[in-house]
């Protein structure tokens, strides 16, 4: 299977600590890099992780709280200093556009490449990016400012050729694509070889959902159909449920409830409040509801 990974660059919340950096992730899919959120220090984390600046073409910002976007202008500036020429696409709520334009005009004169802004309607569930192998769709969330999550979905692939059967029937290479697309093969004597004898089923498409800052949404799982791995913010444990409700955040147990109801295979926790020096309290609470859950940490690389 082609690589489909998530690189954790930062998994803390608004108050910096010596343990965690603000939120940022990079999704790696079939040789392309997609960034989700860009908290302070993100570009340094990319350096540490040996992720290629030049392969990053798209940045998805969930909302305009500083711990999710303060690192963006610094990274844009660095790309200019490195001589970037390729367009950098930014997807974010409309409110960020004016601020970003002013920052670029003030700090990044003669940038040398285009920063193209794509306004995201955080109230809609829709596809906002598509290429030959992947789609990215928005997931409306409920936070204090406009906020959305993102789902990265692989497109279905063609079935795998059974090489031994191709050799056995001496099928020419010119027919491989036809067979992958479902055709039977007719031998020179007129015998028809059924397609299912020549191929193995394609790999099931994978999907990664990133649910940024949000209060608990009991119906959220309905938008996560087919998701393989779910990241869901888990700022608080149940001892701070009142804080979660006040500031529109979620507890680890609430994140686990979404994972359970969405029937995902794996849950990732993050966006930890600085009040928890040991995040295992969040992990233990989540495991009471959903078993396959893990804490994210900086420099983690997680297979979707």
Distance CA 48, CA 139 (A): 30
268 φψ region: left (φ > 0), alpha (ψ -120 to 50), beta (else): beta
Helix, strand or coil, per DSSP, at residue 165: helix
Per-residue tokens: 219:
């119906």
Per-residue tokens: 133:
């192998």
Let me know if 262 is exposed, middle or buried by CB neighbors in 10 A (0-12, 13-18, 19+): buried
E strand or H helix at 174, and its extent? none
User: Phi first, then psi: what are they for 183, rounded to 5°?
Assistant: -80, 145
Distance CA 122, CA 104 (A): 24
Q: Which residue of the set 37, 67, 213, 300 is catalytic?
A: 67
Helix, strand or coil, per DSSP, at residue 168: helix
User: Phi first, then psi: what are they for 178, rounded to 5°?
Assistant: -60, -40
Distance CA 123, CA 143 (A): 12
Let me know if 67 is a catalytic residue.
yes
What residues are annotated to the active site? 67
């Amino acid at each position: 299977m082609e690589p489909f990974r998530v690189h954790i660059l930062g998994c803390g919340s608004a108050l910096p600590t010596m343990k965690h950096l603000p939120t940022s992730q990079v999704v790696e899919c079939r040789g392309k890099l997609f960034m989700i959120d860009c908290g302070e220090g993100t570009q340094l984390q990319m350096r540490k992780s040996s992720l290629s600046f030049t392969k990053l073409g798209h940045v998805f910002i969930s909302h305009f709280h500083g711990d999710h976007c303060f690192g963006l202008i610094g990274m844009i500036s660095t790309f200019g200093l490195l001589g970037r020429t390729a367009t950098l696409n930014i997807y974010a709520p409309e409110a960020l556009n004016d601020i970003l334009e002013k920052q670029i005009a003030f700090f990044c004169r003669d940038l040398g490449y285009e920063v193209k802004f794509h306004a995201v309607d955080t109230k809609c569930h829709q596809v906002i990016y598509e290429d030959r192998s992947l789609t990215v769709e928005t997931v409306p969330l409920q936070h204090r400012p406009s906020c959305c999550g993102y789902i990265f979905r692989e497109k279905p692939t063609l079935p795998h050729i059974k090489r031994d059967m191709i050799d056995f029937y001496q099928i020419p290479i010119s027919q491989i694509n036809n067979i992958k697309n479902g055709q039977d093969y007719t031998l020179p004597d007129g015998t028809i070889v059924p397609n299912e004898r020549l191929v193995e089923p394609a790999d099931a498409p994978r999907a990664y959902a990133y649910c940024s800052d949000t209060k608990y949404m009991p119906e959220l799982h309905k938008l996560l159909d087919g998701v393989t791995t779910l990241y869901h913010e888990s700022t608080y444990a149940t001892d701070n449920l009142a804080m979660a409700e006040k500031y529109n955040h979620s507890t680890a147990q609430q994140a686990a409830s979404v994972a359970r109801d969405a029937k995902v295979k794996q849950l990732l926790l993050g966006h930890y409040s600085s009040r928890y020096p040991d995040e295992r309290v969040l992990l233990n609470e989540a495991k009471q509801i959903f078993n396959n859950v893990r804490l994210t940490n900086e420099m983690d690389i997680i297979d979707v």
